Amino acid sequence: MNVTATPSAADAVIEVRGLVTRFGDAVVHDNLDMSVHKGEVFALVGSSGSGKSTLLREIILLQRPVSGSIRVLGQEVVGLSDDEALPLRRRWGVMFERGALFSSLTVAENVGMVLEEHTDLGPRLIDEVAAVKIALTGLPADAGPKYPSELSGGMRKRASLARALALDPELLFLDEPTAGLDPLSASGIDDLVRSLREGLGLTIMMVTHDLDLLWQAADRVAVLGRGRIAQADTMTELSRSEDPLVSQYFHGPRGRAALEQAWKRK
């Protein structure tokens, strides 16, 4: 796990303040506060139904909260129209849980489509940039001409990540990046997350339930429950927490096994 210097408020890339989200009578977020700081790998965890994915969707402008403030890269995003949000969206990349790749396009075409829509690059340069992004995620060169259906689950994740990196984002969102992967493929994603942060200087926010990924890649982890962030800290500190909501997440059999593996790697 990487350890960063203590961040300051001025370093905040994402600031969520007083967020309220409701679906009918069900309260999902209740005056929630959260910050993600420049250059860190920040993970959001919580039990099923705690509102993790909803919070991510609100941050990336796919859903609107009832009230509260969400500032991303210094700009308030709540209430932005699609046209107003477009310049901001070009500054971040998103890897969705199911990849969201277009099945009728090859991997290279999926990456290139983003460049065609948002840049003035010509076809040859688009192909070259797409090849670089594909290689950056650890995919072999022959993955570019293949269709998503021809790839393994781990390769589809990497292809989706290549597309998310197409516009050289400052901020990267990962939604369950290791979901559905075998242990070996998941371990490869752990390494990739670390290398992207270190090599590209990205700020990364991810939603995950993968305890191994948390130990190996996250600088800080926020535990969401009861509509708020119960605690946000390093995995070492969270593993010592006496908060019942936090401890039940990290002190079960899977949590203890992940902790043992983390210490073996040190």
Q: Tokens 């971040």 appear where?
A: 92
Question: What are the structure tokens assigned to 167, written together?
Answer: 């516009």
Q: pTM of the entire structure? A: 0.89
Question: Per residue in 190-239, pLDDT tens?
Answer: 888 888 888 899 999 999 989 999 999 999 999 999 999 999 999 999 98
Q: How far apart are CA 22 and CA 81, in angstroms?
A: 21
What is the Cβ-side half-sphere exposure of residue 171, based on CA atoms within 13 angstroms?
20
Name the average pLDDT for the chain.
88
Phi, psi (rounded to 5 degrees) for 8: -115, 165
Residue 133 has pLDDT above 80, yes or no: yes
Given a contact cutoff of 8 angstroms between Cβ atoms, the answer to whether 178 and 213 are in contact is: yes
Q: What DSSP letter does each residue of the chain carry, written as one string?
A: ----PPP-GGGEEEEEEEEEEEETTEEEEEEEEEEEETT-EEEEEE-TTSSHHHHHHHHTTSS--SEEEEEETTEE-TT--HHHHHHHHTTEEEE-TT----TTS-HHHHHHHHHHHH----HHHHHHHHHHHHHHTT--GGGTTS-GGGS-HHHHHHHHHHHHTTT--SEEEEESTTTT--HHHHHHHHHHHHHHHHHH--EEEEE---HHHHHHH-SEEEEEETTEEEEEE-HHHHTT---HHHHHHHSSHHHHHHHHHHHHH-
Question: Per residue in 140-176, pLDDT tens?
Answer: 989 999 999 999 888 898 999 999 999 999 999 999 9
Q: What is the DSSP letter of 176?
A: S
Q: What's the whole-number mean pLDDT along residues 48-64? A: 93
Given a contact cutoff of 8 angstroms between Cβ atoms, the answer to whether 223 and 190 are in contact is: no
Question: Per residue in 108-123, pLDDT tens?
Answer: 999 999 999 999 999 9
Q: DSSP E strands: which ranges in 67-151?
A: 67-72, 75-76, 92-95
